[in-house]
Structure 1
């Protein structure tokens, strides 16, 4: 069975043969072909001050992306894994520029060497951060900016009139659900949709601690808000799920030092009434004169790296029995929502990267031949249409969103089974069948897959099921068939190898 990348390469190859007479066209098609072998591109998108760079730093595990209003935040910036740190710029006239990058205490400083941000098409940062391996994360300027030129950079990158979109998947950051966010997500979906496929998109309710006013119970109220957003009709079909994240807390947890733990432990020994007064606000925490408190510089560093919510959580955790830096870092990371976001990105994007990359490239070829028709280009359009129509993985991701929003009338057990079968816990046949880590024979796996297929096929012919359940059952049926084909292909390869 031909995979999505092979199918996409076939579409590109057919277009190259058709446009062999045009060197400019061949150069564009060659670039599309190279992207199929490159890393998955995930863009972080949202309005100004939505927390894109802070969240990106959490995903990378280091404070690399600039988080203030400096000039670099106005440029599309790609972050790749590299053994040697480097920063390269590409100017709008196509000229490359090697830029200095200085490691300051706790952060990376980028400098544009006297050039204006408007002169740059993009920046490429290579850094030995483990969170970048196998993926290119892309920080984009705000979609709604004080200047139209800045926000239009993101539009040109994601929604070009011609050529491929600059990303294969999008993490869209919301601070709340504004009309502008809904419009952008809908536009993104409409401009990248073809057949059953569209760009991968998940939403993040970012800066979640601020939405809860930094209280210890902030994430509880935020989780309730997320449940309401998941069921919001304006988001149905345009994003796959929504995850709440306190990005600053996650970044702080991943960079927590032993010295930070010592400061938290010292603060936790103070009388609770004193601490309560001290923690009323960041201003009170920083300005309170007390020789027994950490220095103002140390306190400012804690606020900068953890936020008041993070400091309050750390004190509560230490008082609750956490007694070392590693344990505290794990607790803060868990509370931040960052690990759940990593899991969602892995399930929705990384494990489906072949389909997502193939979609971006085939869509670009489709637009290319439609905009520059020549005799025979209709055949390329048909090939692209057939590729898009067969993209079952996009039906799975849409179904995962409906499951998360609890829009299906299924028992809890059946909903859990459905989520697993369509890849919600992992993409391998073993994960989908719920037997990951178990030693089952090929025949046992095949029998289990057939059992699930029969169960969901029965639902599709049940006249009493509602339309939503019928659609879900049809998707599960197709997923089971794909599992069976994969297992049979695996068995065939084994027999060829050893037979």
Structure 2
């Protein structure tokens, strides 16, 4: 039985390597996870109200035609009919029999990412938290099993808490020694439009920067987002009727509008306020009236820009997606190492070590060194050098040189060897282990680059 279980884990790891990056959206109950998922997908498909679908793990994958199915714990699959292009409130099967729901959608955002929406953590319902932890960290009933997620979007509302950081530590441990949270975890400060401040979005952005600076080892970045505004803008909820309702409130004083539900003020159309409030929330009620005067297109554009969703996508597309193959390979090697130790197979451990030493796999060492720097020395000069290598920039940029066509190709090899020599000197002078290790990794990176440049001997500048 153990052999079959081990083989099952190996099969799962192979399948995971061939798929797009699996990005789990994790956070406390009512943190706004499903609303954020809808905004990223561009469709209001994930349920946001309490129901059976919010209590199970749901995978959103690219596929055609649009369809959904319930995967049972015994492996059976039951078709699930989408209700008006949305998941229904009821699954039609007992919750205790459900492993996960899988939704296939023709959505551009899902070409490079598989989104995994999880039930809330820190809830009174132990089953919900167990489902979320199993999806990300692995089934506790199996000593061999691993979690499904390659990376995390960790959603917090106003600030991180001790149990949030504890979960991130668990994720790092479950991912294996080669993968840790700073390089495959982004923080999202959700519901940024609800911050109790005169400028809610500005206050949320300052809080996001504070979390990022105080938790560099846990988050590779923290972005403030209004999931409601983003979802409304992208999921077709901003109509001309909504824009007209919001524009009709333009003459209401700012001081009065936030209390529209409890006040009886002449000129305040409560029906219009309620209609607009359900789509844009309190922040949009105040700040969206001007754009709404220009119609739905103007209001939709304002909602998307104000929401911060583009900032989040830029981080995802600039860091997570380009590094997906490294994150997945790193996670797989780490889990193979853990599996080899647990089953006592030295051959597996030897093979993992052999793969790690292959120059082709050296970027994984760069990724690991970057993580260590983010956690202990984020201001180190080695950090941008590692990031340049991991970003796949042209050789002249990696080496910090001005663009010079006549020095392209093999002409840059001496510069690469000189950079390797400087990195070795930096390693000998470093005062912290992380900086010394990063400099040593960089020395090998530049040496490999020099070999690559010499081998090409072409006129084009290699990347």
Whether these two folds match at TM > 0.5 is yes
Q: 2:167 aligns with which of 184, 189, 199?
A: 184
Report Cα offsets for 1:440-474 as digits up to 9, x if no partner: 85952665686577468547636887647666655
- Secondary structure class of the residue paired with 1:62: coil
Map residues 284-323 of structure 1 onto 2, 5 A cutoff: 293=269, 296=271, 299-317=273-291, 323=294
Alignment match, 2:231: 251
Give the deviation of 1:177 after TM superposition. Answer: 1.7
Question: Structure 2 CA distance, aligned partners of 1:442 and 1:121?
Answer: 59
Map residues 256-271 of structure 1 onto 2, 5 A cutoff: 257=238, 259=240, 262-263=243-244, 266-267=247-248, 270-271=250-251
Report Cα offsets for 1:163-186 as digits up to 9, x if no partner: 232111111112212111111112
Question: Structure 2: which 5+ residue stretches go unaligned?
Answer: none
Q: 2:324 aligns with which of 335, 353, 357?
A: 353
Give the deviation of 1:140 after TM superposition. Answer: 0.7
Question: Structure 1: which 5+ residue stretches go unaligned?
Answer: 1-18, 495-499
Question: Structure 2 CA distance, aligned partners of 1:432 and 1:123?
Answer: 45
Q: 1:173 aligns with which of 155, 160, 170?
A: 155
| Bigger Cα displacement from structure 2, 340-349 vs 37-46 | 340-349
Question: Structure 2 CA distance, aligned partners of 1:28 and 1:54?
Answer: 32
Question: Structure 2 CA distance, aligned partners of 1:483 and 1:317?
Answer: 51
Question: Structure 2 CA distance, aligned partners of 1:418 and 1:48?
Answer: 39
Alignment match, 2:122: 144
Map residues 119-268 of structure 1 onto 2, 5 A cutoff: 119-160=97-138, 161-175=143-157, 176-195=159-178, 200-213=184-197, 215=198, 217-232=199-214, 235-255=215-235, 257=238, 259=240, 262-263=243-244, 266-267=247-248
Q: 1:394 aligns with which of 367, 377, 382?
A: 367
Cα distance change of structure 1 residues 148 and 277 upon mapping to structure 2, 3 Å threshold:
same
Contact 2:38 2:231 in 1 (8 A): yes
Q: 1:47 aligns with which of 14, 21, 28?
A: 28
Give the deviation of 1:379 after TM superposition. Answer: 1.6
User: Which has the higher relative contact order, 1 or 2, with Cα contacts under 8 A spaced 6 or more apart?
Assistant: 1
Report Cα offsets for 1:240-277 as digits up to 9, x if no partner: 22222222122222245451674267336x33xx2425
Question: Structure 2 CA distance, aligned partners of 1:431 and 1:116?
Answer: 59
- Secondary structure class of the residue paired with 1:136: strand
Cα distance change of structure 1 residues 476 and 208 upon mapping to structure 2, 3 Å threshold:
farther
Question: Structure 1 CA distance, aligned partners of 2:230 and 2:353?
Answer: 42
Question: Structure 1 CA distance, aligned partners of 2:411 and 2:351?
Answer: 35
Cα distance change of structure 1 residues 77 and 393 upon mapping to structure 2, 3 Å threshold:
farther
Contact 1:72 1:117 in 2 (8 A): no
Cα distance change of structure 1 residues 409 and 351 upon mapping to structure 2, 3 Å threshold:
closer
Cα distance change of structure 1 residues 229 and 452 upon mapping to structure 2, 3 Å threshold:
farther
Question: Structure 2 CA distance, aligned partners of 1:311 and 1:449?
Answer: 59
Cα distance change of structure 1 residues 419 and 29 upon mapping to structure 2, 3 Å threshold:
closer
Cα distance change of structure 1 residues 194 and 24 upon mapping to structure 2, 3 Å threshold:
closer
> Alignment length, in residue pairs?
445
Question: Structure 1 CA distance, aligned partners of 2:196 and 2:102?
Answer: 35
Report Cα offsets for 1:456-495 as digits up to 9, x if no partner: 854763688764766665565555556556666776899x
Cα distance change of structure 1 residues 432 and 300 upon mapping to structure 2, 3 Å threshold:
farther
1:77 aligns with 2:58: yes
Question: Structure 1 CA distance, aligned partners of 2:373 and 2:300?
Answer: 30
Alignment match, 1:382: 350
Alignment match, 2:337: 366
Under a length normalisation based on structure 1, what TM-score does the superposition of the two structures give?
A: 0.75
Question: Structure 2 CA distance, aligned partners of 1:159 and 1:483?
Answer: 36
Cα distance change of structure 1 residues 258 and 71 upon mapping to structure 2, 3 Å threshold:
closer
Question: Structure 1 CA distance, aligned partners of 2:290 and 2:414?
Answer: 50
Cα distance change of structure 1 residues 239 and 354 upon mapping to structure 2, 3 Å threshold:
same
Report Cα offsets for 1:327-364 as digits up to 9, x if no partner: 54344323322111112122332111111222333333
Q: 2:394 aligns with which of 425, 429, 442?
A: 429
